[in-house]
Structure 1
Amino acid sequence: MIDGARILRNVSRRLVIELAVVVLLAGFPIDFPRDVSAGRAWSFLFRHPSILIHAVIGALALTEAVIFVVRTTSARRPRLLILSCLGLFFVLVAFGAGTEYVSGGQHDLALNLMTLGWVAALVVYIVGWVLGRRGMRAERPRVAGQ
């Protein structure tokens, strides 16, 4: 179990950090153009460093979430699989909503879905981090006399 717990802790911790960086980058006061064509919006995204890094780290988080699901599928541990699938689902919601925001006319619904997906994914991966740490502690060999 310690390997599963270690994997859960490490992957969850990385995803929490990545998601925290994503939101920090989105917090910069940037006037993203609204009600513009997808081409103009994507052009703005690629020309603005913090928004571009926001999108790149979001894509990295999505990739890592997919890899996590693949790794837990072969582990035959239902709790790990459920947690990784939930996390991936919410990362997909956030990533998809971000893509829709840029491509689809910059509507508030896309921003709200992006935020909801991000918060839910963050909660799932924080839970994974905590469960992984607890699992590692529970499996730590006990020394006689302690």
Structure 2
Amino acid sequence: MVDPQAVDVHRFRAGTRPPREGEDAAQVLRRLEAALAEWTGDPLHGMQSRWAAGVRQDLRARRRRCLIEIADMSLSMQDRRDLSGLLGVYLTEEPFDELVVEKCMLTLSASGQTSRALELYTDTRVRLLDELGIEPSASLQKINLELLRQ
């Protein structure tokens, strides 16, 4: 039998579990970041079964929730780290995920990079218009306006 801690997907799932009683925000943040470090590519790449597709979908959703939670926690803790690399990798794969664009813009601004946040909005808006024929969501537009007013 293989030790579950020897398998990256098990380490990822363990790291993305809900916080335990007594676990402080800094510990949760470190655990989530360690879990994301386990993400090294598309899960079950090359497997075409319904089971593999379901597992892949679940893991992708966990990754997204983990990214959003890291961004939210960093913002609430007034952590000024630049998370654009972490969030940007995801956005290259899922460029229309406006919630993650919002989190990336907010963390960029919090780390003193408001101009990059505004560039991200412009790039996202152009992509949405060109490829889907739609404007960004109201919440994304609101963040853009708030950053422009700073």
Instruction: Establish whether TM, by shorter chain, passes 0.5.
Output: no
TM interval, short-chain normalised: 0.3 to 0.5
TM-score (norm 2): 0.39
Which gives a bigger RCO, structure 1 or 2 (Cα 8 Å, sep 6+)?
1
The TM-score with structure 1 as length reference comes to 0.40
Q: Whose helix fraction is larger, Structure 1's or Structure 2's?
A: 1
